Chain A
Amino acid sequence: MTRKTGFLSEEEAIAAVARLDRARLTRFVRAEVIRPADSAGHAVYRQVDVARMELLCDLCDDFDLPDDALGMVMGLVDQLHGTRGDLVALMRALGEEPEEVRLRVMHRIGR
């Protein structure tokens, strides 16, 4: 998938995410589940924020999550993805090791 480029203003972000309106974006920012970036004194949104807003809209619309639960769920989602990212890095590093090292590690893990 190609990532689109550039940063979005608040208006552009609201236009880019169909289910997002200003009130909802304000809620997300207040709950600190969206943290806009500072670009020369202006708040801008990145593509990662847009993807996150879509997920947050899903959580609000499909799961009926209240604001305080949003922060908790996003914290868990971020931990899950962070840990997966570390695991991928670890597996990649392990993959570059000689077979004997890989086997020893697998043996230690006990699977």
Chain B
Amino acid sequence: MSDDPYDVLGVAKKASAEEIKKAYRKIAKESHPDLHPGDATAEARFKAANAAFDLLKDPETRARFDRGEIDASGQEKPRERQFYRDFAEDQGNPYRQGPRYEGYGDEADIFAEFLRRQARQGGQGFDRQGFGGQGFGGQGFGGQGFSDHAFRARGADAQYALEVPFLDAANGGSMRITLPGGGDLEVRIPKGVSDGQTLRLRGKGGPGHGGGAPGDAYVTLSVAPHPVFTRDGDDIVMVLPITLDEAVLGAKVEVPTIAGPVKVTVPKGATSGQVLRLRGRGIEPPAQKAGGQKAGGRKPGDQRIELRIAMPKTVDDDLAKFMEGWRKTHGYDPRKGVKA
């Protein structure tokens, strides 16, 4: 695809602002990625049209592009946008809609639900009644419909946001949310939850009406940063300062892990940037998940320790004198191959 913004939008160089806008909106309507999930061509077209329109909608940048002062990418990089569909298919998406699989088992076990409905209808497959309970705006109706005269409405879903300490997210734990109407709600944090994950607590939302089921509570987690540890996939990563003498001579030092301190051997001649790996000391993947699939036997992550040699606060005469002597006979060049 050409990246000339006029080509992308399919307009002439002399097109009016109105024509450009019209051309852009036409493409945007036809290829919006959130409305065409799974269509990579549509997505590429949409992104290109977006970038092109960003450039051409402002008369000033358009003029600068026409004069050749800026290239098609403009000067500023287009912000990397997160599309809704990157979240939308998650089991935990709080806006998730669709057949609700009510009242069977603990999680949205769609297989159990299929079986249940099949049995009730004598194996005729699902007809219109079969897929009860789609709701809009989180106020779905119970799957029973109106057959027994009573109007049943499912309670509204509740949305909560919860910041979780790093170690509780890694090791699992229990926290309480204070509810706006008083009272509180216990949230069990499973081991190894990741930032942005949403937990669904069935039946912990608003009360139902007319005997309808209560709504669910969706709790989106934000994992607080830790002063020492960061997380990279299932690995825990940290930087460990070591002294000059530990680096030269090697040492056994105590290192924190998410499950408490362990002794680690720093090898003789360790250098800054060197990474030691503690196998299996990282995040244990949560024991998945809705639909009965296991974590696929995913092994726990590692802890990666990047060594960093920390010089003493002051370089005393002894050290300086020793180094002066040492340098004369043991010079080495660590910058071999460091060239522009």
Contact sample, A vs B, 22 pairs, CB 8 Å cutoff: A3-B82, A3-B196, A39-B160, A51-B83, A51-B87, A54-B82, A54-B84, A55-B84, A58-B34, A62-B29, A71-B136, A78-B95, A78-B96, A80-B37, A82-B98, A84-B38, A84-B89, A85-B89, A85-B98, A89-B291, A89-B293, A92-B293
A37 in contact with B98 (CB, 8 Å): no
A111 to B95 Cα, complex, angstroms: 32
B290 close to chain A: CB less than 8 A = yes
Residues A56-96 near B (CB distance < 8 A): 58, 62-63, 71-72, 74-75, 77-86, 88-90, 92-93, 96
A3 in contact with B97 (CB, 8 Å): no
B268 close to chain A: CB less than 8 A = no
B191 close to chain A: CB less than 8 A = no
A41 in contact with B180 (CB, 8 Å): yes
B220 in contact with A85 (CB, 8 Å): no
Quick one: closest B residue to A50, CB to CB? B82
A85 in contact with B34 (CB, 8 Å): no
Quick one: closest B residue to A59, CB to CB? B32
B38 in contact with A35 (CB, 8 Å): no
Q: Which residues of B contact A85 (CB under 8 A)?
A: 88-91, 93, 96, 98
Q: A38-B158, A75-B137 are in contact. Are A1 and B95 (CB under 8 A)?
A: no
Q: Which residues of B contact A92 (CB under 8 A)?
A: 291, 293
A98 close to chain B: CB less than 8 A = no
A46 to B35 Cα, complex, angstroms: 21
B196 in contact with A81 (CB, 8 Å): no
Q: Taking beta carbons and an 8 Å cutoff, which residues of B are in contact with A?
A: 24-25, 28-29, 32, 34-35, 37-38, 80-91, 93-99, 110-111, 134, 136-138, 157-163, 177-178, 180, 195-196, 198, 218, 220, 222-223, 290-293
A88 to B29 Cα, complex, angstroms: 26
Q: Which residues of A contact B138 (CB under 8 A)?
A: 32, 35
Q: Which residues of B contact A83 (CB under 8 A)?
A: 98-99
B32 in contact with A58 (CB, 8 Å): yes
B88 in contact with A78 (CB, 8 Å): yes
A38 to B162 Cα, complex, angstroms: 8
A8 CB to nearest B CB, Å: 10
Q: CB < 8 Å: which of A7, A33, A86 contacts B110?
A: A86
Q: A38-B180, A46-B220 are in contact. Are A7 and B82 (CB under 8 A)?
A: no
Q: CB < 8 Å: which of B37, B84, B198, B291 contacts A93?
A: B291
Q: A35-B94, A51-B87, A93-B291 are in contact. Are A77 and B159 (CB under 8 A)?
A: no
Q: Which residues of B contact A4 (CB under 8 A)?
A: 82
B112 CB to nearest A CB, Å: 12
Quick one: closest A residue to B137, CB to CB? A32
